[in-house]
Amino acid sequence: MALRVYDTRSRTKRTFEPLIEGTVRLYACGITPYSPSHLGHARQAIAFDVIVRWLRHSGFAVDYVTNFTDIDDKIINVANAEGVDFSVVAERNIADYYQVMDAMNVLRADAYPRVTETIPEIIEMVEQLIEKGHAYIGNDGVYFEIDTAPEKYGQLTGQTLDMVRAGAGGRVDDTGSGKRDHRDFALWKLAKPGEPSWASPWGEGRPGWHIECSAMSLKHLGETFDIHGGGADLLFPHHEAEIFQSECCLGHDPVVKYWLHNGLINVDGEKMSKSLENFWTIGDTFEHVHPLELRYALLNARYRQPIEFNMAMLEESKKHHERMMEVYGRALVAAGSGDWNGCDSLEEAAERFTAGMNDDFNSRTAMVEVQSVVRDLRALLESDSDAGLVAAGVAWLDEFAGGILGLLPDAESVRAAQAEGESARDALAAKVEPLLEARAAARAAKDWPRADQIRDQLNELGVVVEDSPDGPVWRIE
């Protein structure tokens, strides 16, 4: 069944057909590393991680590029406040990015280009735009002239030139005094004293905000490529500016075949943002939940929908993920991983999972299938059925929950965690066994207060006792 993707530019779901058969070239806008990564970065990275995993699973060779905008006003501001070079700030936050993304099982992209490593290509692109009459040199930098390609306005947001002209009235920005029209945008900003800068034909300066993505995608993926992604907040002006730059520079249209945009994170019904103080860094969230539990929470909605983030939804995802891990761990230790082909219910689950993912990467539908396989697997474990079926369930989860959704740690660390649990259990057994016997005696004598008191003692040891039809079972809380 064919993969269909929602393309922002055409505002429709389109059958996915790459420009070069069998390969997918994908560029996703990454971060500006001026502060530790936040939940919005996590959502973007995880959304495209799953998209890339699914494309590869579907047989495509994927070339996945995501960038670091490692020179920018905000980085400079932070560096100035700390009295350090801008690169110190950028490096520190890039390191943070890799660390938290690795923890959440985000596979590394094939390339992480940086603006500071792409300066020659950026300068060349700006020169070409000037040559072709799409850009002009102002007194404080080089600008793209919107009026040279008015038909490209509003390609992603549906806005028209007039709307923006009216909407921005009285709010003409103060940074581009050299602009001829407030809708023009900077390609190259001349440096003010003390700012980091690079030599260019127009003087010392640095790239404008949008040009780096046009230059980096061209450098790493070529003159046309299949998918360009990023957060929905980049639609305008960033991605529309890219369309102007790339298409006007290269002289063909379109440069990007499909535009994919992930939804934003909301807190209390509003977009998460620093000014509203409703801000969660990824590190903050790790204080409360395991990285994979956060990943679970962020995949619990389609990538395009906004997510309302709060402790309640986080706790619910934690609960679901813990349950999956418990069943998966027990099953893995009991039966190992086998082969799910030939098992009807698992094949049907795989079909529904596939249908969901092929429908614009609907990870939520996929998660429902994971939940149902987990439920069935737990029932199997409870009814000591044959190991082959259990192993088949493990294999299914390995492939889909682990391989595609990235929700499982690798099997070795699961085994290690199970083994660690076993040894912790053994260590406590000497203390627990006598108490269990005493409690059994009290229960036999129907001395309920005494039995409950012993249960409390066990709780203090961190042990939870549950009476089952087969006698009491205990586990470490």
Q: Show contacts with RNA in window 124-153 (CB under 7 A).
A: none
Candidate residues 331, 451, 458, 463; the one interacting with RNA per rule CB under 7 A: 451
Q: Which residues pair with 68 in a beta bridge?
A: 31, 114
- Nearest approach in angstroms of CB 410 to RNA is 25
Check residue 105 and give left, alpha or beta (phi > 0: left; psi -120 to 50: alpha): left
Reading the block at residue 249, the tokens are 């520079």
Reading the block at residue 340, the tokens are 């799910």
Is 313 a binding residue for RNA by CB under 7 A? The answer is: yes
Is 307 a binding residue for RNA by CB under 7 A? The answer is: yes
Residues 175/209, Cβ–Cβ less than 8 Å: no
Among candidates 43, 118, 32, which has minimal Cα distance to 75? Answer: 32
- Nearest approach in angstroms of CB 404 to RNA is 17
Candidate residues 136, 198, 236, 286; the one interacting with RNA per rule CB under 7 A: 236
Largest CA distance in the chain: 96
Residues 339/395, Cβ–Cβ less than 8 Å: yes
Is 273 a binding residue for RNA by CB under 7 A? The answer is: yes
Give residues 24-53 in contact with RNA (rule: CB under 7 A).
29-32, 38-41, 43-44
Reading the block at residue 52, the tokens are 């890339």
- Nearest approach in angstroms of CB 22 to RNA is 27
- Nearest approach in angstroms of CB 357 to RNA is 11
**Cα distance between residue 80 and residue 75, in whole Å:** 9
Distances (CA, A) of 25 to 227, 257, 338: 6, 10, 34
- Nearest approach in angstroms of CB 42 to RNA is 8
- Nearest approach in angstroms of CB 334 to RNA is 16
Give residues 327-346 in contact with RNA (rule: CB under 7 A).
none
Nearer CB in complex with RNA: 202/303: 303
Give residues 284-303 in contact with RNA (rule: CB under 7 A).
300-302
Nearer CB in complex with RNA: 372/457: 372
Give residues 199-218 in contact with RNA (rule: CB under 7 A).
209
What DSSP string describes 141-199?
Answer: EEEE-GGGSGGGTTTTT---HHHHHHHTTT---SS-TT-SSTT-EEEEEEPPTTS--B-
Nearer CB in complex with RNA: 342/469: 469
Number of C-beta neighbours around residue 414 at 10 A: 18
Nearer CB in complex with RNA: 55/377: 377
DSSP one-letter code for 28: E
Nearer CB in complex with RNA: 166/430: 166
Is 260 a binding residue for RNA by CB under 7 A? The answer is: no
Q: Which residues pair with 231 in a beta bridge?
A: 262
Nearer CB in complex with RNA: 31/407: 31
- Number of residues interacting with RNA: please give it, by CB under 7 A: 79
Candidate residues 189, 220, 257, 320; the one interacting with RNA per rule CB under 7 A: 320
Dihedral of CA atoms 94, 96, 99, 104 in degrees, nearest 10, equals -100
Provide φ and ψ at 79, rounded to 5°. Answer: -60, -40
Nearer CB in complex with RNA: 22/171: 171
Give residues 95-124 in contact with RNA (rule: CB under 7 A).
none
**Cα distance between residue 83 and residue 342, in whole Å:** 64
Nearer CB in complex with RNA: 9/290: 9
Is 312 a binding residue for RNA by CB under 7 A? The answer is: yes
> Which range touches RNA (CB under 7 A), out of 214-222, 410-418, 422-430, 448-456?
448-456
- Nearest approach in angstroms of CB 390 to RNA is 15
Handedness of CA 196, 99, 299, 53 (dihedral sign): positive
Alpha helices (H) in 222-290, listed in sequence order: 240-250, 282-286
Q: Which residues pair with 61 in a beta bridge?
A: 23
> Which range touches RNA (CB under 7 A), out of 18-26, 262-270, 281-289, 412-420?
262-270
Candidate residues 284, 288, 448, 462; the one interacting with RNA per rule CB under 7 A: 448
Is 262 a binding residue for RNA by CB under 7 A? The answer is: yes
Distances (CA, A) of 171 to 182, 186, 459: 9, 17, 63
Give residues 344-403 in contact with RNA (rule: CB under 7 A).
359, 362, 364-365, 368, 371-372, 375, 378-379, 382
Is 272 a binding residue for RNA by CB under 7 A? The answer is: yes
Amino acid letter, residue 42: A
Is 171 a binding residue for RNA by CB under 7 A? The answer is: yes
Nearer CB in complex with RNA: 194/469: 469
